[in-house]
Structure 1
Amino acid sequence: MALSPLKMTTRGGAYDTSSIAAPASPQTTRTIRRLQSHQQLSSNSPSLITQQRQQQQLQQQQHGLTTRESREHLQPSMQNVSLGLGRTRANSDAPMAFKKPSSTRRWPASATHGRKSSLEILMRDGPPGGNIEQGLSDLRYHILSSRVEAGKDGMSDYRCYLWLALLNVGPLQTDEYLTLVHRGQSPAYQKINDDTFRTLATDTLFKRRVTDASITRVLNATAWKLHDAKRISSDSPPTASGQPAANTSAVYVQGMNVLSAPFLYAARSETEAFSLFHAFLTRECPGYIRGAMEGVHKGLALVDKCLALVNPTLAQFLQNKKMPAEIYAFPSVLTFCACTPPLPEVLHLWDFLFAYGPHLNILCIVAQLLLLKDTLLASPSPTKVLRSFPPLEAEQIIKLTLFVVQKIPDDIYAELVNHAK
């Protein structure tokens, strides 16, 4: 007679339950699945943003294509955006119908139990059939169509894993972070210590979750790693010009503390925050911490240039008031709008920027100016209005940014993509 797989022993006719092993914790299983999903999405593949740039460069070299190609993936989202700006779209202008990314994989019934979002399911189970390219495409689509589910405080169970995948940050090395922490004070420690307590000082959500000690450790570890990279660069062999390869990146500039804040808030650990922050600085915006922050100043010039293209009236008004972007937009450019509360809206905006390119932050700032147009034109002192931007409304800013990006010429868009490099 066949035995049951859950065989029990008996003592005097009664079942002996001590021989039954406790089942694995569902929480442990979910955590392992998330980590496996992140490794699938991040291993052996360039980041989504890097893929865009590589494809763009290849097209330009081989076929002479313009940067307009890199914006085609944003076009579908414009169908549902009605902003009341400019002329009404004619039928001849309408883009081709967009189909939701298809997947041959059927999700099991248990996957939808508990009303999990399609984005969360994708992060949990990984790309369909192990197709990394299709998985990243689906991630981008879901970020725009259904956004990342989060509580009122902006916290999400899977946002940090989403950012790790989009920024192509591989499996985390906790030992490396601890080694940097144990090295003690970096050359920039005093500057870091002076700025730490100012980091989102009025944001109660941030202060309740992130301590000053955590900010200091992450910034100090980042400074050490940038310092080491700078030293290695200076010790490298001379280039063809006869000079050693120059690395003029600073190990710390004022404002990096605010830029690190969303990473510290969204991450599950300091190691995650450090890995995300360092990868973002060195891959996506190295120009923002190089020399005299030349990338930031290029970005400010692009704010003025793009505003003049999109709304000449407002641009001329600000110019007549002697208000270039250098005066009012420096913090927003440097921190990718992290300086403007509320923090949950910053996180939502960053989901969009990490999916489609941090360079779009310049157009997000232009979008905020367009939302303030009537107030600015009617104000006798627009300087006071722009002294601090109104609270972020990420959804509205993203929709308006998708509208603005269609009005940017190819050469200017290429400047946007490359200004932070």
Structure 2
Amino acid sequence: MPSPTREYIPTLAPSLMTELHAPPSPRTHRQLRKLQSAHNLGAAARGSIGQPPGLISQQRLRELQARDVSPTRRAVSNRSPQRNRANSDASSPVNLVPTTAAALARHRSAMSKTSAAADVMSLERLIRDGPPDSDLQAALESARLKVLDQGIKSDSDGMSSIRIYVWLIFLNAPILDTDVYLGLIHRGASPAYSKIRNDTFRTLTTDPLFRRRVSEASLIRLLNAVAWRLHDAKEQRRPPSSRQSLPASDGTGSRPTTAHSSTSSPAAKNRARALTLTTEGESEAGAPEPGTYVQGMNVLAAPFLYAARSEVEAFIAFHQLLTKEVPGYIRGAMTGVHRGLALVDKVLAIVDPKLSLHLMAKGLSAEIYAFPSVLTLCACTPPLPEVLRLWDFLFAYGPHLNIFCIVAQLIMMRGELLRSPSPNKLLRSFPALQADQIKRTALAMVKMVPDDVYSETVRHAL
């Protein structure tokens, strides 16, 4: 379902907000202007979005364009425009104040009206029984608030019986017949198969929870099926004369039987080997098709397989994320990722100019240290249960908020980074995720950036 626009993203009560820094001095603005060239590195890419956004993103953009900027800013924050930027002279680390039930109740009352019937229901019952009074929008708003306030109940390993269904709802994923997924599997090796095989064995190798629950064969099947779907969509956009002669798909996604598919033929043996997806080798279909698979998709797919109760659920959720929410991450030269990296630099310069200047002085732009975090929505940083909790928030309020979550991690490392003569060593691998603190810091920063920067963040992955 459509993600909420900026004015409906909750802001913590003033006593709970992350107090980043005081208003800046005039000297701070001069320093910010010096950073402009570095932050404009992604400007050309930002203006080159050529393909239309998905339904969810279209709705989000329409709502952003329709709103009156000034009243919206006043509605979401009591701060004056001068408080949009931070004080570069501040030296104390960010003070993260834990939330309280009373403050959460205050910010809930400031939100758009939710269904009273949905508010008294648990998230589990709301997912099971559906929206009371058939009020879908109010039930969605209530579900988002429940995810933000209470989280999704899970065990110490991050396992939950309802998480995948919450994700499917927030991602507006369609119902998929299992036979369609099986049909994609039975087509054998996709054009990206050899590239997939080069990545899957390295997926979250240091995470025992993932390795215990998800097999490499399962990950290969999922990525191969997604690669077929993306390939087919790309081929449909090509002129008929330029389409590749690859195995065709029938209504269920499986290939028709031909005279060359006897069980004794070499091609049949290769297809059987691809079906098991457990042996080495490359696809006979040729080199991976550009735009159907990029390195890093294996890590982005991993949490879906871990949280889902079946491969089909993981497949449709993952495919929906790629094609409707972050298509720019896998298109061409991954221009969406590079736009996201430029935004990490820009947002950091707005909320903490001193830290931004320190990193830039060391030659540390986001392109150097944040590429995996942008591409994988922070799934590259353990532990996995914290990744799942962070994704609950991102899917509820929009994956574009991952940009703020990455900056939030930098803010949480602020003291160490400023004290370190070589901050690149600290940024080689981010500290363990702390989803709750990251969310609180990110929500505070959302209200600090100008409207045009936030709008750019919404669009960057499309």
Shorter-chain TM-score bucket reads 0.7 to 0.9
- When the two structures are superposed, what TM-score results if normalisation uses the length of structure 2? 0.69
Question: How many residues are treated as equivalent by the alignment?
Answer: 343
Cα deviation for residue 55 of structure 1 reads: 5.7
Letter in 2 for 1:382: P
The answer for the alignment partner of 1:128 in structure 2 is: 132
What are the Cα deviations for residues 354-375 of structure 1, in whole angstroms up to 9, with x where unaligned? 0101000000000000000100
Q: Could you say which residue in structure 2 is the equivalent of 1:377? A: 418
Task: Summarize deviations over 1:97-128 as a string: whole Å, max 9, x none.
Answer: 53795545389xxxx9xxxx821121122111
1:222 maps to a residue whose letter is: V
Do the aligned partners of residues 177 and 72 (structure 1) sit closer, same or farther apart at CA in structure 2, a change above 3 Å counting? farther
State TM-score, norm by structure 1: 0.76
The correspondence for 1:54, drawn from 50, 54, 59, is 59
Contact kept, 8 Å, 2:338 with 2:367, in 1: the verdict is yes
Partner AA of 2:69 in structure 1: T
Q: In the alignment, which residue of structure 2 is the partner of 1:194?
A: 198
Which residue in 2 is equivalent to 1:279?
320
Residues 1:66 and 2:21 aligned together: no
Aligned to 2:146: 142
Q: Does 1:345 align with 2:386?
A: yes
- Structure 2 residue matching 1:105: 3-state secondary structure: helix
Confirm or deny that 1:407 pairs with 2:448: yes
Query: What pairs with 1:246-395 in structure 2 (closer than 5 Å)?
Result: 250-395=291-436
Structure with larger RCO (C-alpha < 8 A, sep 6+): 2
The residue aligned with 2:220 is 216
> Structure 1 residues 66 and 100, CA, compared in 2 at 3 Å: closer, same or farther?
closer
2:167 partner letter: W
Counterparts of 1:343 and 1:59, CA distance in 2? 33
Mark the CA change 1:254 to 1:149 in structure 2 (over 3 Å): closer, same or farther. Answer: same
CA contact (8 A) 2:154 2:160 kept: yes
Q: 1:359 & 1:328 partners in 2: Cα distance?
A: 18
Q: Is the 8 A contact 1:101 1:141 kept in 2?
A: no
Aligned match of 2:110: 98
Matched, 1:235 2:239: yes
Residue 348 of structure 1 aligns with an amino acid whose one-letter code is: R
Q: CA deviation at 1:170?
A: 2.2
How far, CA to CA, are the matches of 2:448 and 2:353 in structure 1? Answer: 12
Q: How does 1:75-94 map to 2 (within 5 A)?
A: 84=95
Matches within 5 A, 1:175-190: 175-190=179-194
Q: Map Cα deviations across residues 340-397 of structure 1 (whole Å, 9 max, x no partner).
A: 0000000000000001010000000000000001001111211110000000000000
SS at match of 1:153: coil
1:74 and 1:136 map into 2 onto residues whose CA distance is 23
- The 3 A distance-change label for structure 1 pair 69 and 283 is farther
1:67 is displaced (CA, Å) by 9.6
Give the percent of matched residue pairs that are identical in Structure 1 and Structure 2: 55
Q: Distance in 2 between matches of 1:196 and 1:57?
A: 38
Deviating above 3 A after TM superposition, structure 1's stretches of 4 or more consecutive aligned residues are: 46-53, 66-75, 94-97, 99-107
2:300–2:377: 8 Å Cα contact kept in structure 1? yes
Contact 2:2 2:60 (8 Å CA) reproduced:
no
- Could you say what the CA RMSD is over the residues aligned between the two structures, in angstroms? 2.9
1:346 aligned partner, one-letter code = V
Q: Could you say which residue in structure 2 is the equivalent of 1:204?
A: 208
Contact 1:101–1:138 (CA<8 Å) still a contact in 2? no
Indicate conservation of the 8 Å contact 2:115/2:135, yes or no.
Answer: no
- Provide closer, same or farther for how the CA distance between residues 171 and 69 of structure 1 changes in structure 2, counting only shifts above 3 A: farther
> Is the Cα contact below 8 Å between 1:340 and 1:389 reproduced in 2?
yes
* Structure 1 contact 67–411 (Cα < 8 Å) conserved: no
What letter matches 2:170 in structure 1? L
d(CA) in 2 for partners of 1:385 and 1:129?
Answer: 52
- The answer to whether the 8 Å contact 2:203/2:298 transfers is yes
